[in-house]
Amino acid sequence: MRNAAYEHRVFTVYRPPVPVIAVGNLTVGGTGKTPIVAWIATYLRSQHRRTAILSRGYGRRSKGVRVVSDGQRLLADAREGGDEPVQLARSFPEIPVVVGESRSEAAREALTRFAPEVLVLDDAYQHRAIARDLNVLVVDGSHDLASDRLLPAGRRREPLSAIQRASVVVFTHPDPATGAVAGEGTVRLWFDGPVVVCTRTIGSFADAAGQVVEGDRVKHGRSVLVSGIGQPERFERDLRALGIDVAGHLRYRDHYRFTREDVRAMIAAVEHAGAQRIVTTEKDMVRLMSVPGAMDMLAAAGAVTAARLAVTVHPPDTLASLIDAVMRRSA
């Protein structure tokens, strides 16, 4: 009924004066939206486009519109800005990041304060109150969408017919051996547009300050993994494939808000395993950094390192060409 109300213009839609690129999915948790947002931001930066990133800021304590980064300074931690927006702000310190339950209100704030040439919306496939020029649907290629039941019985947010709203479908998590994706047939029942496949690998490691940590240092000694993400088993598998000696894995729910008690449990796990470091994700690192005193406590027990993802899309020019076309139409 909600979708029908938008399609028949019962609900109003705000159209910003600059192009809007939206990224989202049809299922909850673990499809890999944020790395695609990062890829798009990287490409726009390479084209010297003034960009602002907008997000809901899931899991934050604050309400309303909040500027996480003004393109010069980080102005909020994960508690106030949300873990993924803060992660993006740290990865792209020159790009403003604004959060808000209403992406329309966040867009107006970004346009007024930062005058971007393009807005990139994270996790916005269902947020239809703002018009978009490119609608990027991210689909987990490790299983068929048709096998997911609708919420609350399953993980799917909308009927499969919602695939039709996409401008491009990006499959993540292809089979590591063959590169094949599951469920392309299901997508093609509803969508005849461009499809790309995204591969993600752990490309590097960094400490809490963002300084690169050599992979050989991470491989030396034992590591305890800490993750609060949608698919922690994939994180562990990728680290083991790199030769990381995994002594244990503390798994928390996606977007979990860490406490000092959790930090003490991490330290105890490191000591019990005789490990030398904690290896976590970038998203978990920013949430750990928001716990008062956590990084000092953890540093006393061993090094804390975040695994950084490297993203590649195939075919390599498809997504870039779609972005270029959107920017040309706005010129």
pLDDT digits (tens, 9 = 90+) for 115-160: 999 999 999 999 999 999 999 999 999 989 999 999 999 989 999 9
Token pair of 154, please? Answer: 């399953």
Class of domain 202-309 (CATH, top level): alpha beta
How much is the pLDDT for 29? 75
Give the pLDDT score at 58.
84
pLDDT grade, residue 261 (50/70/90)? very high
* E-assigned strand segments in the chain: 20-25, 51-55, 66-69, 97-99, 118-122, 134-140, 168-172, 195-206, 212-213, 222-227, 245-251, 277-281, 303-314
Percentage of residues of the chain with pLDDT beyond 90: 82
pLDDT tens for each residue of 52-107: 999 998 888 899 999 999 999 999 999 999 999 999 999 999 999 999 999 999 99
Q: Between β-strands 20-25 and 118-122, what pairing exists: parallel, antiparallel or unpaired?
A: parallel
247-275 average pLDDT score: 94
Q: Which residues pair with 309 in a beta bridge?
A: 202
pLDDT of residue 32: 83
Average pLDDT over residues 214-218: 91
Write down the pLDDT at residue 302: 83
- What's the whole-number mean pLDDT along residues 204-228? 92
168 forms bridges with which residues in the sheet? 136
Q: Quick one: pLDDT band at residue 28, thresholds 50, 70, 90?
A: confident
CA dist., res. 89 & res. 85, Å (int):
6
d(CA 150, CA 163): 14
Q: Same CATH topology for 2-200+312-330 and 202-309?
A: yes
- Model confidence at 224, pLDDT cuts 50, 70, 90, reads very high
What are the pLDDT digits (tens) for 281-326? 999 999 999 999 999 999 888 889 999 999 999 998 999 999 999 9
Q: Counting beta carbons within 10 angstroms of the beta carbon of residue 205, is it exposed (0 to 12), middle (13 to 18) or buried (19 or more)?
A: buried
pLDDT band, residue 263 (cuts 50/70/90): very high
The confidence score (pLDDT) of residue 282 equals 93
2-200+312-330 sits in which CATH class? alpha beta
Q: CA-CA distance, 195 to 124, in Å (whole number)?
A: 19
Helix axis angle, 294-301 to 260-273, nearest 10°? 10
In the chain, the percentage of residues whose pLDDT exceeds 70 is 100
**Separation of alpha carbons 286 and 207, rounded Å:** 11
Q: How far apart are CA 175 and CA 215, in angstroms?
A: 24
pLDDT at 31: 79
Domain ranges across the chain? 2-200+312-330, 202-309
- Cα–Cα distance list, 142 to 17, 109, 115, 180 (Å): 38, 38, 39, 9
Q: Is 232 left (phi over 0), alpha (psi -120 to 50) or beta?
A: alpha
